Structure 1
Amino acid sequence: MKFSLQQTIRRALSRIFDNPQLFLTITVALAIVVSFVYISDRFIGIARDAQDRLVNVRVGSLQDAFTPLAASFIDDPVKLQGFMRGIAERNPTITEFNILGSTGGEWRIVNSLDEKQIGTTPQGQDFFLSLATADPTNSFTVEEVQGTERFFRTARAITNASGTVIAVALTRQTLSEADRSIAASIQTSVLILLIILILLLFLFFHHARIIDYTALYRRLKEVDSLKDDFISMASHELRAPLTVIRGYIDELKHVPTLKSEAADMIDRIDRSADHLNLLVADMLDVERIEQGRMSFDMKLIDPSAVVREVCDSFRPVAVKKGLTISCDMQEGITIRADAGRLQQIMTNLIGNAVKYSDKGEITVTSKAERDDIVFRVGDSGIGMTAEEVSHLFSKFNRAPSDRVRSEVGTGLGLWITKQLVEAMSGKISVESIKGVGSHFVVQFPIVRSS
């Protein structure tokens, strides 16, 4: 467990130092936390000092106002006690309020809010009282702590008209309310700090995840680049031997003494070579499209002739499967397109319709609708589910059904078709019902004569 923890910590530190952004995020987070703690501590210290001074000044002001009054009523304890009670009620922080007089050098309480203390001698206050009597014009304060509660004890001499000290006013003020306020501020600060820490941790982990995604994206880009390089290399390397194979096949087909069995084998080799040639052509098209090197010879053309030619080229294959192909083109429409690429598009769509239909009719139509010419290629084949349709134009996508997998294909044809259609300012879509058939719709803008 210890070794595993050390490894985890080592990996985490290595990851942080290997990623400057993570290191910067942690540094900023620590700086924010340290700054917040320092500022909060300073603020609380300043607030506590200010609160203490405020209490001190308030009591001093009270005593400044009280001592002249006390000197006038020192001989009237009832009225003096009434003044003391009034002051205590207006200042609830005062917990003790005593008037001390000196008799034979001994200080005794002569008046108090607590009548039980009258006549008693306060303990441990001699030095404090001597300070007050030595300087009658000022108040003297000391801090006391009782348990967890702090108090200020303040003494002020009471003098007669000639300036002679006749008594000392002694008060005790609790600081519990101020301390509670400061404690609440500390709790609030701690709560805010925890929230900041949580947010910073969330930011850190989110940042770490983004860095993970970035690293993964880079690796995927590298893999994708290697894959594209491999496809490009394989396509170009396969094209040369395929040309040689096709050349020998053509030569063998014209041998007069060729036996029927050998001729059948040559036909199979020829079909396989055709399939391999189409695969190489698809891979080369993918490479050109992804690298932006696909060329288009855009001209004003009548697409009906191109589509009819494609339909005618598939009729022999369709007849062998017991299918019919109907081609209903609206004449006299002009579009700007590459005739060769349009032929490639319709070859893919009509070829798929023939490939995945076992009976019925393949319908190919075109019709002007508003500003577009709309081509529709319909079949009565195996159809597709909505899930299959959603991935239909993805690269290397093939439906998972056994019927689709039984046919030879790369899953690139419809992706290439979509790229070609969109490159010529067109749109392509599909409507399909599983077990009923599919309808592919291709639209191109009509070019109207001025």
Structure 2
Amino acid sequence: MQEIEQQATEIDFKWPLGYSAGATKSGIKQNKLDLGWLVSEVPASAAGVYTTNQFQAAPTKLTKATISADQQLQAVILNSGNANSCTGKLGKQNALKEQNMIADKLNIAPDLVGVASTGIIGKQLPMAKIEQGIDALQLSDSIAVTEAVLTTDTHPKTIAVQLDLSGKQVTISGFCKGSGMIHPNMATMLGFVTTDASVDGDYLQQLLIDETNNTFNQITVDGDTSTNDMVVLMANGMAGNVEIDDSSSEKEKFALAIHQVLAYLAKQIAEDGEGASKLVEVNVKSAATELEAKQVAKEIVGSSLVKAMLFGEDANWGRIMDAIGKTDASLDVDHVNVWLNGIQLVKNSEPATFDLQPARDSLSEHEVVIDVDLHAGNSVGTAWGCDLTYKYVQINAAYE
């Protein structure tokens, strides 16, 4: 497994200074946490990235417009069990109503409230339950909100790190949901990252875009892009550091910590893919460009044939070559090399001499690493995914 480059120290999950959260069972789902909120004591610089699906859901559109207006947020209300997607004019009105209810409850402006939903597409939000749930929401240092956002996930996905910025201890905490319908430019995933660092809003937005392209947009479970995907990053400045902006001497240090958080969460989503039994990492080197390296890595990890091959623990490297060749990336067709868990299967685009049984045996491990050398340049790229199992079909055939 390729190690995530680390700048910050990982700690037990906790909220950064000035943040609190809460969750409740509103009744959208049967006897499960399904409604939560995340709140900063003060308005925070905010950034967001959103699904590219043309049927972008009402809450996703609303949050995008809210953040884009002033690069600030103070609170986010989120629910699982209902996506409020493909719900027309009423769906938009309901998202606005949620935004205003939270604003009234906190006595803040509505344009400081983001809204996020995930779950079944095409059903109106049960607003009576939402309203009762919002009334019941309380704030504390609880992390129950990390469960309230889950759908087919098997567990919450969280990380917290700390680092020093201008002599002040800064905390960055992130959580997300995502298991199926994962093929970002975003996917059926919601991600929330909070920090007490002081960060310029415009710089924060560009940083989130850049790092999402290197992390969340390099995972795939099933090739489907959802209507509700969103990642929100908030920085409330309560750590008291000198503000980070594009000219800051510490911007790279902060960016590396954000990358660490997002990459960890992205891998957690890939590992928790619906029905998955293996986490798969593909590393491509010697590509002509970084974009092409990423493209090839994601094509391999997203191939249904490769995913089925890995589930069947079959070292059929021809499927990997097929996935590489499907792309329009520059490559030396006579000198491509492929390794599976460190065992070279392909040398100069021909079968390498290897022992088949050890290669098959290595596929019984939970983590599988495929390395590819394109012999076309100096760029590298990585993507993450999972295998394709019988259980994936079962989950999605019976999903309600």
TM exceeding 0.5: no
The structure showing larger relative contact order (alpha-carbon pairs under 8 Å, at least 6 residues apart) is 2
TM-score (norm 1): 0.17
Between Structure 1 and Structure 2, which shows a larger proportion of helix residues? 1
TM-score by length of 2: 0.19
**Is the strand fraction higher in 1 or 2?**
2
- If you compute each CA radius of gyration, which structure gives the higher value, 1 or 2? 1
